Amino acid sequence: MVSAPLWQGAYHVSSTADREDTRRMGQYTYIGLMTGTSMDAIDAALLDLSDAAPRLVATHGTPLPDALRRQLLAVGAGTGLTELLELDARLGEALANAAIELMNRAGVTSNQVRAIGSHGQTLWHAPDAEHRTTLQAGDPNRIAERTGITVVADFRRRDMAAGGQGAPLAPAFHRAFFGSITEPRAVVNIGGIANVTCLPADTTGVTGFDTGPGNVLLDTWCRQHDRGNYDADGAWAAQARTDPQLLARLRDDQYFRRPPPKSTGREYFNAQWLATAKLEGHSPATVQATLAELTAGTIADSLRSAMPSAKRLLVCGGGARNGDLMRRLARNLPEMVTESTADHGISPDWVEAAGFAWLAHATLDGRPGNIPAVTGAHRPVPLGGIYPGGTS
């Protein structure tokens, strides 16, 4: 998510910082790097995990260069091996740059960071294939080499190896960060895909899954109509009425009927999905409004069936910046208070990146990062591969 960086009590590391401070920081300070399905930006977050409650210290967002984004958007089943490997290398460099820029802004050096949790760019996610697979690009070796910091990456495949969907992984962090809210509540991350986390009052029995499209169809329709990469504030969607028949047809998709555990990606909800949706005869604005209602309605339906007792919905991800989408969500969920995660201590733009910093910490401490009830894995497992940093 690219926006003005949100500084929340950034570390001020001056020459007077004593050794003990530095040692403590080095033990508990983590960087999270995230590039989501929207492929809009690299989000980098510096997290302090020295207390029970994670604290976001500094953030940095950097847009993906247009040429790289176009190439990434074009990746599909037919993409050649050489191109994939080149993309992996280029993304690795871009991720390393984002981490270095974040540290420069925060005045933090590499020996003050214990590890970087790097999600990488998902290029393929096929959790329901006979041999389930998922691929996140962004060579962690390059990040470790450039920063000198230990990198934890490739978080999803261990969960898949344990029989899970490899997604969503955010629920464990949502539980850690929003665990102090005592009423039954849910979190929804509206990125390219939307995923919900249901947090019962006692935080045992956490569930979660991908509800379906978040922004991905809205962004794709915008691009197809030369309206930029996204519908700013949902202004275009707000101009038109939704078409009830079209909406009913779109909601009839098999993904929405499937019970959890389930996860999805732009391999499924994409331009091809729109092309088969018989949108001819509708004005482009009507389609945009109907797609926005599809996102809001399917999130609402999912929540209602997964957690009828939820009183509060905390929204994060770029979708939280879309006023039209937020109004639709509130209309679809009159029984819940719908609010931004900013009201609970973390800006919606940085929750996902912070989550991968937190997962890196869990992995280095040998703790599981997945929740089997969410991903469908047979058991809790530590996630990711560890790429040692080492100083030069």
Interface with ligand ATP, residue 189, by CB under 6 A = yes
Q: Tell me the closest approach of the beta carbon of residue 67 to ligand ATP, in angstroms.
A: 18
Query: What tokens appear for 309 in the block?
Result: 């007792």
Task: Kindly write out the interface string for residues 230-249 of this chain, putting x where it contacts ligand ATP by CB under 6 A and - elsewhere.
Answer: xxxxx---------------
Give residues with Cβ within 8 angstroms of 362, minimum separation 6.
Answer: 172, 368, 369, 382, 383
Question: Environment class of residue 75 by beta-carbon count within 10 Å: exposed (0-12), middle (13-18) or buried (19+)?
Answer: buried
SS3 148: coil
The binder of ligand ATP chosen from 95, 123, 167, 193 (CB under 6 A): 193
Query: With binding defined as CB under 6 A, does residue 38 bind ligand ATP?
Result: yes
Near ligand ATP by CB under 6 A: residue from 29, 37, 110, 207: 37
CB 34 within 8 A of CB 353: yes
322 binds, options ligand ATP, Mg ion, none, Cβ within 5 to 8 A by partner type: ligand ATP
Residues 319, 299: Cα–Cα separation, whole Å: 12
Closest distance to Mg ion from the beta carbon of 328 (Å): 21
Among ligand ATP, Mg ion, none, the one that 193 touches (CB under a kind-dependent 5 to 8 A) is ligand ATP
Residue closer to ligand ATP (CB basis): 112 or 211: 211
From the CB of 229, what's the least distance to Mg ion, in Å?
A: 11
What part of residues 310-369 is at the interface with ligand ATP (CB under 6 A)? 317-319, 321-322, 352
Please identify, using beta-carbon distances, which residue of 36 and 171 lies nearer to Mg ion: 36
* Among residues 5, 32, 92, 192, the one that binds ligand ATP under rule CB under 6 A: 192
CB closer to ligand ATP, 54 vs 389: 54
- Looking at residue 178, its amino acid is F
Binding site for Mg ion (CB under 5 A): 36, 38, 40
Identify what 233 binds: ligand ATP, Mg ion, none; CB under 5 to 8 Å per kind.
ligand ATP
CB 137 within 8 A of CB 123: yes
# binding residues, ligand ATP (CB under 6 A): 23
Tell the smallest beta-carbon distance from residue 73 to Mg ion (Å).
Answer: 13
Residue 138 vs 389, nearer CB to Mg ion? 138
Do 140 and 93 form a contact (C-beta atoms < 8 A)?
A: no
CB proximity list for 225: less than 8 A, separation 6 or greater: 284
Q: How far apart, in whole angstroms, are the C-alpha atoms of residue 392 and residue 388?
A: 12
- Could you tell me the smallest distance in angstroms from the CB atom of residue 257 to Mg ion? 28
What is the Cα–Cα distance from 171 to 356, expressed in whole angstroms? Answer: 11
Any residues with CB less than 8 A from the CB of 104 and at least 6 apart, and which? Answer: none
Q: Which of 143, 126, 144 has its CA nearest to residue 135? A: 126
Going across the sheet that includes 312-316, the strands are 207-213, 193-199, 185-190, 312-316, 337-340
Q: Footprint of ligand ATP on this chain (CB under 6 A)?
A: 1, 36-38, 40, 189, 191-193, 215, 218-219, 230-234, 317-319, 321-322, 352
